[in-house]
């Protein structure tokens, strides 16, 4: 990132990653150059932290906020505020209308919600299970008498007076939003829509302004707990976020901006803060990194990418195959089962801050799942932490510079860490402190490696077909460890690893995606006429979703001809309960041949994901969902391209040496300043490349090479 | 036969032993040294703990992952939603090394199947080769009940056997007399459905066609059956691949050592945990459950089975100072003419399922725990039958009620050590089981088996209430599933799903409540359903003054005229049967034929569209005197629908007061007075123990008890002479006082004559317990 002092830059894109502790901003100019700004987050009024972070970043370019903002065309936000609102149950007071007789189902949850996110030991340890408070309490829940069956047939016609009564009672209780979710409304929405209209009438009569959310208008997909939770999130958590985003947008406008903010959404695209389904922006930060990797891959020609991100508390992995993200349709988040399309990302509760303990009964080594988080470990005397962490191992083994942690803001004490490690782990296991610390690191690396491997084999592939991207604050410390021996095609650490999520947000497409449940069933030997009919049913759903996608773009001023559409579908063997999402190989489905192409695409994928022997074509097929994605092009950060220079790193990049322990011996590792390395430089381990926000470890037996895009390539030698 | 191999006499196990030689050697060393396989030192673990941990965590993660991936292949909500499947990795001797989550009772049962193959010469005939596939569900050699189907695959390395992997799913139907996986009508094994004894069903990773054709027509729900099998096979193969990768990375020597050291590690881990959590001594407790077969709605083929009986399991846990322990079930009932019998392996292995939920919640779940425990199950009891005719299809009926006593016993120890959070008063009776079949909404032959009761109430601990609608003792990861998914699987629409008030036992900390689902038959043809659960007996107990959970009952309604009532806009039963003593639905269905009683076990009854069925999931027991419960919590329970208002006063001594908004609060002064009055009344009603015992003794001498109670004791006395002696001396009974089944006015077939499976030609059963 050249630090240019001239101010004739035209800043085009702003990416924001508002985390719990730090707010990162990422600016891209018309040449594609970029700069990162950092400031502490300000949860009370997020706009303040954002403005501060922006100013800090723009200073590097010698720009003021006004100068930059007047030019920016697009700004993308991602943050954790909505998630925190849900976790802390600080959302709006909502009312819920469900089927009469089923008023308890939301608070009953699914029992799975009592142990979601637990480690293995706690999943089986019954006395640790607990339910969170329901998002809507039972006394704000009402039932309406009606029933529709699984095929959409009316069993009990809607008794409208029960809906009116429910609406009046909830309105009288001063709710701030009303959510309606009736069984099988995704199949036949008539009753639910009628209830919605009755509630709207009653709200209007009351003279109050209470927004109404019918599940069929938002997430018309099967599984009532998922659908209801997600629709409640719209009312409970997304509406306040909409207000926040409105505020941020206004704050920027006051500073001269002309753009409308977009928000990173769970499906991997960005949507407007005015979008109807805003709940899908509940987690966005970690997705940014995946999108960034996808974009880098598209520009540089990597189609299969394993994205890996280590922070203080977790290791997140996502896979991009053939430039496509994997989408999970009924994920869980904040201990709630949901029906959002979510970029499939798996997390292990093991990060740099994870605690290390020995099981008192079996002496097995336990990593996490809890973590010291920002308090680092025993090595930081002021932290109050007494249990050793992964970071303590790093300090003991010379991976981290105790005097330059977070640019020297936090001073670490190696001796403290060493003593604690000896007492808690090394002595009980009969190992030296160094071997114990190195062993723990090896164990963590091995866990992460297995995790990566199993994710990739779950896709029916092998690491040899993938390029591994490693980023996040602690990612590059472990890159060598969790990739060693897996045989990745390439292992890449971007020089801007610590700001990679914000970069990814800036690179994300403006994309809407809508899903609809379908129930198309067809026998394996179905006649062509039936296949044609079924193709037409799917086509009709695509048309309906297309309308909704185009409508959203209209709101943001994009005419239909600007929108690129991509249909998809979900298919399973008839009778199964799990489907697979398939990107449609055809744009329209109208004939029996079209149908066969859809089936073929499904069979291919199924054999890859599970096993060829698990294919069951003799059962016939069900299409369970239609998907439509629409995107419009937006300006994106240009990937830097610099001239290659010599292999030898410049002298000014060298920072001396540090003792570094691995494979049972101490060696002297050469230290480098990351920012001072030049494209083309080649570094052979043992070496440690440091910058303020991250440390890249290149142990003996590895070498790294910095390419013209400021990407480090790590390989075993 | 292969003459060559006979000459070489080389076995298939790594190093050249036969399977039988291998297992014999390990068992001999285990017995001699009291360490598994004689491993007084664990070489790999001691010299390279990091590598050992790496192996463990990699294999464990892989096994868990295989389960998560494979279950998506299944079509059955039992597998896919409820997670009723499990994969376990075994060493060459069939001892488990580690397991996934899920129905982990099968850690032992699949191991028992492998051991049966080893002991009965499967190595020679039918032969065990790389890429073979075996299937087992035989309850006479260790399976829990026939609907748990095992797929077992040997793992070879360079031509030698190094271990096994087993996968199990709970299938929805096994072709027994009645539809559903745990049907009730049969009274012998021959009606229990398809039974497969360690059969080789495939070679070269391919299933035999004769197997496919036969098995798929032996059950009602063929599609579920097929996909369940693909789930098991795919999972086993994933794990076999994983083991081969691990060996490629870490070397066969390390893996081989690990495969035995891990079992010893599990044994040592259990011992350390018992030492840390409990107090040495003897813990005695008892469990009961009802078998009400005299009722007209239980239609069985045999007159001798048409009796009301009570099943009985006294248990004694002995914990020694070194952390070893012994579990003795002297005095348990004889096996019976019903489907509630269990094999010794399922009884003992199942105990690990519950122990892992409280005593040893660790990833180190393997056969080490079994080697660390001495069991005594007298031969001929319901959990160790000595007759090959016994039926097993719902062995859980009494397993859950017998085991709940063990949690209660251990909880006393936890309490004594101050581990209040670990106390768990006991598990719910995991019922009702809604089952039945006929033609479904897709016009196909179908069986249903709702698994909503995977989410029962949990017993209270000594510091908080048990959680509601959350768990089942046979699968710690309980779940009730989404209604929309059950409606896909069953031609029954929901008219209600509601927390069942007062189903959890009262206490200072109350048991978690269960819930109830009201189902209306919809789009079914030639349809039947039945009930399965406890009715007359509360099968769990409270602890330290806490109450047991409510027992079960049934509600079914036929000829409801609901079609007309719906059309006319009349009142429709919906939600829950909130207060069964003051029912409201009957008045809405004036012309209906309604069955509402304590007969919670029935056989197939005919149902048609618009008929109703109430599926009531039980609660858990409570801890401590209800009078010690914080009064506001009682009001909260009433407000939340966890407690029927009338019990606030009668059980808790809490006087409620209106708190506005329709909510109840507490009248503090009146509550204090009421509680004082209840305590006083208790004292007034009490009599000295000696005096009470004297009057009870008179009743015993006069045999003043129901026939079922007399039969229960008579059967226990016959099989458990020590139990009889203790009973006799406790009540100071004269020598001429005798209680004999033969003297009772009900048949007792099986009392004198029985013939064990081991008496069949060429059969070697494997004994896992002291008898």
What whole-number distance in Å separates Cα of residue A200 and Cα of residue B125? 74
Q: How many domains does chain B have?
A: 3
What whole-number distance in Å separates Cα of residue B133 and Cα of residue B156? 13
Residue B361 domain flag: no
What whole-number distance in Å separates Cα of residue B621 and Cα of residue B623? 7
Name the residue facing A101 among B233, B487, B575 (closest C-beta): B575
Closest CA to A503 of A299, A673, A687, A328: A299
- The values of phi and psi at residue A123, to 5°, are -60, -40
**pLDDT tens-place string over residues A281-334:** 887 767 888 999 999 998 888 989 999 888 777 788 888 888 888 888 888 888
Indicate if the pLDDT at residue A512 is higher than 70. Answer: yes
What whole-number distance in Å separates Cα of residue B433 and Cα of residue B242? 37
- Report residue A20's pLDDT band, with 50, 70 and 90 as the boundaries: low
Closest CA to A477 of A450, A426, A435, A441: A441
Catalogue the E-assigned strands of A544-639.
564-573, 580-583, 621-632
Half-sphere exposure at residue A594, Cβ-oriented, CA atoms within 13 angstroms? 18
Q: CA angle at residue A631 from A626 to A634, to 5 degrees?
A: 165
| Contact criterion met (CB < 8 Å) for B65 and A454 | yes
Give the count of Cβ contacts less than 8 A between chain A and B: 246
Average pLDDT of chain A, as a whole number: 88
Which among B250, B266, B282 is the end of a domain? B266
Residue B310 domain flag: no
Instruction: Return the pLDDT at B178.
Output: 93
CA quadruple A185, A187, A193, A195: dihedral sign: negative
Residue A461: in which H helix or E strand, if any?
A: none
Burial class (CB in 10 A: 0-12, 13-18, 19+), A268: buried
Name the residue facing A127 among B64, B422, B569 (closest C-beta): B422
What whole-number distance in Å separates Cα of residue B456 and Cα of residue A712? 54
Instruction: Return the pLDDT at A410.
Output: 77
Question: B74 with B139, same domain?
Answer: yes
Residue B753 domain flag: no
**Cβ of A5 under 8 Å from any chain B Cβ?**
no
Question: B602 with B588, same domain?
Answer: yes
Neighbours of A532 (CB within 10 A): 18
Q: How would DSSP label each residue in A485-541?
A: TT--SEEEEETTGGGHHHHHHHH--EEEEEEEEEEEEE-TT--HHHHHHHHHHHHHH
Nearest CA in chain B to A572: B73
Residue A351, both tokens: 């990060």
| Contact criterion met (CB < 8 Å) for B64 and A101 | no
Say which residue the tokens 């507490």 belong to: B666
Question: B570 with B449, same domain?
Answer: yes
| Contact criterion met (CB < 8 Å) for A108 and B496 | no
Return the higher-pLDDT residue of A640 and A551.
Answer: A551
Please tell me the distance in Å from B174's CA to the nearest CA on chain A: 18
**pLDDT tens-place string over residues B604-653:** 999 999 999 999 999 999 999 999 999 999 999 999 999 999 999 999 99
For residues A510-519, average pLDDT: 88
By residue count, chain A amounts to 717
Question: B529 with B667, same domain?
Answer: no
Residue B704 domain flag: no
The DSSP bridge pattern shows strands B133-136 and B199-203 to be antiparallel
- The values of phi and psi at residue A225, to 5°, are -70, -45
- Residues 6 or more apart whose Cβ sits within 8 Å of residue B692: none
Q: Report residues of chain B scoring pLDDT below 50.
A: 1-7
Q: CA angle at residue B176 from B170 to B182, to 5 degrees?
A: 45
- Residues 6 or more apart whose Cβ sits within 8 Å of residue A364: A358, B53, B56, B362, B363, B364
Alpha helices in A310-432 (DSSP H): 390-396, 414-421, 427-429
**Cβ of A150 under 8 Å from any chain B Cβ?**
yes
| Contact criterion met (CB < 8 Å) for A125 and B358 | yes
Instruction: Return the pLDDT at B5.
Output: 46
* DSSP summary character for residue B706: -
The DSSP bridge pattern shows strands A510-522 and A621-632 to be antiparallel
Residue A437, both tokens: 């610390």
Half-sphere exposure at residue B762, Cβ-oriented, CA atoms within 13 angstroms? 5
Return the higher-pLDDT residue of A36 and A486.
Answer: A486
* DSSP summary character for residue B513: P
**pLDDT tens-place string over residues B128-138:** 999 999 999 99
Q: To 10 degrees, the CA torsion angle through B569, B573, B575, B579?
A: 140
| Contact criterion met (CB < 8 Å) for A159 and B569 | yes
A235 within 8 A of A178, measured Cβ to Cβ: yes
For residues A59-77, average pLDDT: 85
Which residues are A346's β-sheet partners? A317
Cβ-Cβ contacts under 8 Å, A226 against chain B = 482
Residue B191 domain flag: yes
Residue A160, both tokens: 């409208």
List all residues of chain B from 372 to 411 with a beta carbon under 8 Å from chain A: none
By residue count, chain B amounts to 771
Closest CA to B94 of B154, B138, B136: B154
**Least confidently predicted of A132-146, A502-516, B4-18, B176-190:** B4-18
**Cβ of A138 under 8 Å from any chain B Cβ?**
yes
What whole-number distance in Å separates Cα of residue B585 and Cα of residue B576? 10
**Least confidently predicted of A239-253, A652-666, B513-527:** A239-253
- Distance set, CA B548 to CA A329, B291, B505 (Å): 42, 19, 5
What whole-number distance in Å separates Cα of residue B35 and Cα of residue B140? 29
Say which residue the tokens 């019990």 belong to: B647
Name the residue facing A101 among B265, B518, B662 (closest C-beta): B518
Question: B117 with B243, same domain?
Answer: yes
Please tell me the distance in Å from B763's CA to the nearest CA on chain A: 35
Could you give the 3-state DSSP secondary structure of residue B346? Answer: helix
A687 within 8 A of A674, measured Cβ to Cβ: no
Cβ-Cβ contacts under 8 Å, B265 against chain A = 362
Residue B354, both tokens: 């519950």
Residue B396: in which H helix or E strand, if any?
A: helix B396-417
- Distance set, CA B753 to CA B291, B298, B763 (Å): 22, 25, 20
What whole-number distance in Å separates Cα of residue B727 and Cα of residue B722? 9
Question: B616 with B631, same domain?
Answer: no
Name the residue facing B496 among A102, A184, A442 (closest C-beta): A102
Its pTM stands at 0.90
Residue B478 domain flag: yes
Range of B659's domain?
627-685
Question: B554 with B431, same domain?
Answer: yes
Residue B380 domain flag: no
Closest CA to B152 of B194, B94, B193, B99: B94
Q: How would DSSP label each residue in B750-768?
A: TSS----GGGSTT--PPP-
- Distance set, CA A623 to CA A396, A535, A574, A583, B488 (Å): 56, 10, 9, 13, 15
Instruction: Report the share of chain A in percent with pLDDT over 90.
Output: 46
| Contact criterion met (CB < 8 Å) for B65 and A458 | yes
Which among B574, B600, B624 is the end of a domain? B624
Indicate if the pLDDT at residue A4 is higher than 70. Answer: no
What number of helices (H) and strands (E) belong to chain B?
A: 21, 22
Residue B767, both tokens: 């004994």
Instruction: Return the pLDDT at B705.
Output: 96
Question: B566 with B476, same domain?
Answer: yes
Question: B481 with B592, same domain?
Answer: yes
Residue B652 domain flag: yes
The DSSP bridge pattern shows strands B325-328 and B373-376 to be parallel
Question: B435 with B471, same domain?
Answer: yes
- The values of phi and psi at residue A92, to 5°, are -80, 160
Instruction: Return the pLDDT at A281.
Output: 87
Instruction: Return the pLDDT at A21.
Output: 66
Q: To 10 degrees, the CA torsion angle through A458, A461, A464, A467?
A: -70
| Contact criterion met (CB < 8 Å) for A111 and B458 | no
Instruction: Return the pLDDT at A3.
Output: 39
Burial class (CB in 10 A: 0-12, 13-18, 19+), B685: exposed
Which residues are B515's β-sheet partners? B499
Question: B681 with B552, same domain?
Answer: no
Residue A158, both tokens: 């809607």
Residue B178, both tokens: 């009645």
Name the residue facing B477 among A123, A138, A443 (closest C-beta): A123
B84 within 8 A of B169, measured Cβ to Cβ: yes
ipTM of the modeled complex: 0.94
Question: B51 with B169, same domain?
Answer: yes
Instruction: Return the pLDDT at A1.
Output: 38
| Three-state helix/strand/coil letters over A199-259 | HHHHHHHHCCCCCEEEHHHHCCCCCHHHHHHHHHHHHHHHHHHHHHHHHHHHHHHHCCCCC
Instruction: Return the pLDDT at B81.
Output: 79
Which residues are A336's β-sheet partners? A333
**pLDDT tens-place string over residues A394-430:** 999 999 888 877 667 678 999 999 999 999 999 999 9
């Amino acid at each position: 990132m050249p630090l240019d002092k001239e101010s004739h830059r035209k800043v085009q894109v702003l990416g924001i990653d508002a985390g719990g502790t730090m707010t990162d901003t990422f600016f891209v100019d018309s040449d594609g150059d970029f700069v990162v700004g950092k400031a502490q987050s300000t949860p009370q009024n997020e706009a303040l932290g954002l403005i501060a972070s922006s100013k800090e970043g723009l200073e590097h370019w010698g720009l003021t906020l006004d100068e930059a903002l007047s030019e920016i065309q697009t700004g993308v936000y991602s943050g954790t505020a909505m998630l925190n609102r849900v976790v802390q149950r600080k959302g709006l007071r909502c009312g819920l209308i469900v089927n009469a007789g089923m008023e308890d189902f939301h608070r009953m949850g699914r029992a799975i919600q009592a142990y979601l996110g637990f480690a293995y030991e706690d999943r089986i340890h019954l006395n640790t299970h607990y339910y969170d408070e329901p998002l809507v309490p039972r006394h704000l829940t009402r039932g309406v008498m009606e029933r529709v069956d699984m095929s959409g047939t009316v069993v009990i016609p809607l008794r409208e007076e029960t809906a009116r009564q429910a609406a009046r009672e909830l309105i009288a209780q001063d709710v701030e939003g009303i959510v309606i979710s009736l069984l099988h409304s995704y199949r036949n929405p008539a009753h639910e829509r009628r209830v919605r209209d009755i509630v709207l009438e009653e709200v209007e009569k009351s003279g109050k302004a209470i927004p109404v959310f019918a599940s069929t208008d938002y997430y018309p997909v099967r599984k009532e707990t998922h659908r209801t939770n997600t629709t409640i999130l719209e009312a409970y958590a997304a509406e306040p976020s909409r207000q926040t985003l409105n505020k941020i947008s206004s704050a920027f406008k006051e500073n001269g901006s002309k753009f409308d903010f977009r928000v990173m959404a769970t499906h991997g695209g960005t949507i407007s803060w005015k979008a109807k389904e805003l709940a899908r922006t509940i987690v966005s930060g970690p997705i940014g990194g995946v999108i960034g990797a996808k974009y880098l891959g598209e520009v540089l020609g990597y189609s299969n990418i394993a994205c890996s991100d280590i922070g203080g508390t977790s290791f997140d992995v996502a896979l991009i195959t053939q430039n496509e993200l994997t989408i999970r349709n009924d994920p869980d988040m904040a201990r709630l089962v949901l029906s959002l399309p979510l970029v499939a990302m798996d997390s292990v509760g093991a990060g740099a801050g994870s605690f290390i303990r020995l099981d008192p009964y079996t002496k097995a080594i336990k990593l996490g799942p809890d973590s010291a988080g920002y308090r680092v470990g025993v090595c930081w005397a002021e932290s109050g932490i007494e249990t050793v962490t992964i970071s303590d191992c790093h300090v003991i083994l010379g991976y981290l510079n105790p005097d330059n942690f977070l640019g020297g803001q936090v001073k670490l004490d190696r001796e403290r860490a060493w003593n604690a490690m000896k007492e808690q782990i090394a002595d009980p296991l009969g190992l030296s402190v160094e071997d114990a610390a190195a062993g723990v690191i090896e164990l963590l690396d091995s866990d992460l490696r297995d995790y990566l491997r199993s994710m990739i084999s779950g896709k029916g592939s092998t690491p040899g077909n993938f390029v591994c991207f490693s980023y996040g604050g602690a990612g590059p410390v472990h890159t060598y460890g969790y990739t060693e021996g897996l045989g990745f095609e390439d292992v890449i650490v971007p020089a801007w690893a610590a700001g990679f999520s914000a970069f990814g947000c800036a690179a994300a497409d403006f994309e809407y995606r809508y899903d609809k449940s379908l129930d198309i069933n067809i026998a394996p030997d179905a006649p062509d006429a039936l296949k044609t009919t079924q193709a037409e049913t799917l086509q009709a759903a695509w048309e309906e979703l297309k309308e909704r996608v185009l409508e959203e773009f209209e709101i943001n001023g994009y005419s239909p001809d600007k929108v690129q559409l991509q249909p998809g579908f979900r298919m399973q063997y008839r009778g199964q309960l799990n489907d697979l999402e398939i990107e449609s190989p055809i744009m329209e489905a109208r004939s029996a041949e079209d149908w066969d192409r859809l089936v073929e695409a499904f069979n291919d994928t199924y054999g890859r994901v599970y096993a060829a022997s698990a294919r069951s074509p003799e059962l016939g097929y069900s299409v369970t969902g239609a998907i439509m994605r629409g995107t419009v092009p937006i300006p994106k950060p240009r990937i830097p391209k610099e001239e290659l220079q010599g292999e030898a790193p410049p002298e000014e990049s060298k920072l001396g040496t540090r003792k570094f322990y691995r494979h049972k011996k101490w060696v002297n590792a050469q230290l480098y300043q990351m920012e001072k390395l030049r494209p083309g430089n080649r570094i052979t381990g043992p070496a440690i490349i440091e910058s303020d926000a991250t440390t890249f470890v290149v142990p003996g037996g590895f070498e790294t090479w910095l390419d013209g895009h400021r990407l480090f390539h790590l390989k075993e030698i | 036969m292969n003459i060559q191999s006979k000459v070489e006499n080389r076995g298939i196990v790594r190093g050249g032993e036969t399977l039988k030689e291998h297992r014999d050697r390990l068992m001999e060393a285990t017995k001699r040294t009291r360490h598994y396989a004689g491993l007084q030192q664990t070489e790999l673990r001691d010299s390279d703990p990091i590598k050992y941990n790496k192996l463990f965590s990699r294999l464990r993660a892989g096994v868990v992952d295989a389960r998560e991936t494979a279950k998506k292949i299944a079509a059955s909500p039992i597998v896919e939603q409820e997670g009723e499947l499990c994969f376990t990795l075994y060493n060459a001797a069939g001892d488990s090394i580690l397991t996934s989550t899920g129905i982990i009772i099968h850690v032992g049962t699949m191991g028992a199947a492998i051991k049966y193959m080893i002991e009965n010469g499967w190595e020679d005939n039918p032969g065990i080769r790389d890429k073979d596939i075996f299937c087992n569900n035989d309850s006479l050699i260790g399976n829990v009940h026939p609907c748990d189907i095992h797929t077992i695959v040997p793992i070879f390395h360079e031509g030698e056997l190094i271990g096994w992997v087993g996968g199990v799913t709970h299938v929805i139907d096994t072709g027994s007399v009645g539809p559903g996986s745990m049907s009730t009508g049969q009274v012998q094994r021959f009606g229990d459905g398809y039974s497969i004894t360690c059969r080789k069903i495939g070679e070269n990773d391919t299933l035999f066609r004769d197997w496919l054709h036969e098995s798929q027509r032996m059950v009602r729900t063929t599609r579920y059956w097929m996909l369940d099998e693909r789930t098991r096979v795919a999972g086993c193969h994933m794990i076999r691949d994983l083991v081969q990768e691990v060996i490629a990375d870490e070397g066969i020597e390390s893996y081989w050592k690990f495969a035995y050291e891990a079992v010893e590690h599990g044994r040592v881990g259990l011992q350390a945990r018992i030492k840390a959590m409990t107090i040495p001594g003897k813990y005695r407790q008892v469990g009961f459950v009802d078998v009400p077969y005299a009722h007209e709605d239980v239609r069985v083929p045999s007159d001798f089975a048409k009796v009301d009986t009570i099943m009985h399991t006294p248990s004694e846990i002995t914990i020694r100072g070194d952390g070893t322990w012994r579990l003795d079930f002297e005095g348990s009932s004889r096996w019976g003419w019903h489907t509630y019998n269990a094999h010794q392996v399922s009884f003992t292995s199942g105990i690990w399922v519950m122990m892992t939920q409280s005593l040893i919640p660790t990833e180190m779940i393997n056969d080490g725990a079994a080697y660390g425990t001495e069991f005594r199950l007298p031969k001929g009891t319901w959990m160790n039958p000595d007759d090959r005719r016994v039926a097993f299809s719902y062995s859980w009926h009494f397993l859950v009620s017998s085991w709940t006593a063990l949690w209660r016993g251990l909880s006393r120890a936890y309490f004594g050590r101050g581990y209040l959070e670990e106390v768990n008063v006991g598990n719910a009776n995991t019922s009702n089981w809604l089952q039945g079949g006929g033609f479904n909404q897709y016009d196909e032959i179908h069986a249903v088996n709702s698994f909503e009761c995977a989410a029962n109430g949990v017993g209270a601990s000594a510091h908080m209430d048990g959680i509601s609608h959350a768990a089942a003792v046979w699968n710690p990861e309980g779940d009730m599933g989404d209604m929309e998914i059950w409606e896909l699987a069953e031609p029954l629409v929901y008219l209600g799903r509601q927390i069942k008030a007062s189903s959890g036992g009262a206490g200072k900390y109350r048991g978690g409540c269960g819930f109830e689902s009201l189902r209306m038959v919809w789009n079914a043809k030639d349809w039947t359903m039945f009930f399965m659960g406890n009715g007359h007996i509360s099968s769990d107990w409270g602890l330290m003054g806490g109450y047991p959970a409510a027992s079960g009952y049934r509600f079914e309604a036929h000829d409801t005229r609901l079609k007309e009532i719906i059309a006319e806009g009349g009142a429709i039963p919906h939600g829950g049967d909130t207060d069964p003593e003051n029912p409201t639905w009957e008045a809405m269905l004036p012309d209906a034929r309604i069955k509402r009683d304590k007969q919670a076990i029935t056989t197939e009854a005919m149902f048609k569209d618009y008929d109703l069925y109430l599926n009531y999931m039980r609660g858990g027991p409570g801890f401590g005197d209800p009078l010690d419960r914080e009064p506001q919590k009682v009001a909260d329970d009433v407000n939340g629908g966890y407690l029927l208002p009338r019990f606030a006063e009668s059980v808790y001594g809490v006087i409620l007061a209106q708190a506005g908004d329709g909510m109840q609060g507490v009248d503090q002064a009146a509550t204090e007075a009421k509680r004082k009055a209840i305590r006083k009344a208790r004292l007034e009603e009490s009599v000295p123990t000696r005096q009470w015992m004297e009057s009870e003794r008179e009743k015993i001498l006069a045999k003043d008890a129901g026939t079922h109670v007399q039969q229960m004791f008579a059967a226990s006395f016959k099989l458990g002479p020590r139990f009889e002696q203790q009973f006799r001396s406790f009540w100071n009974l004269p020598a001429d006082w005798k209680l004999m089944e033969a003297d009772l006015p009900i048949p007792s077939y099986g009392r004198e004559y029985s013939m064990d499976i081991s008496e069949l030609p060429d059969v070697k059963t494997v004994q896992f317990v002291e008898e």
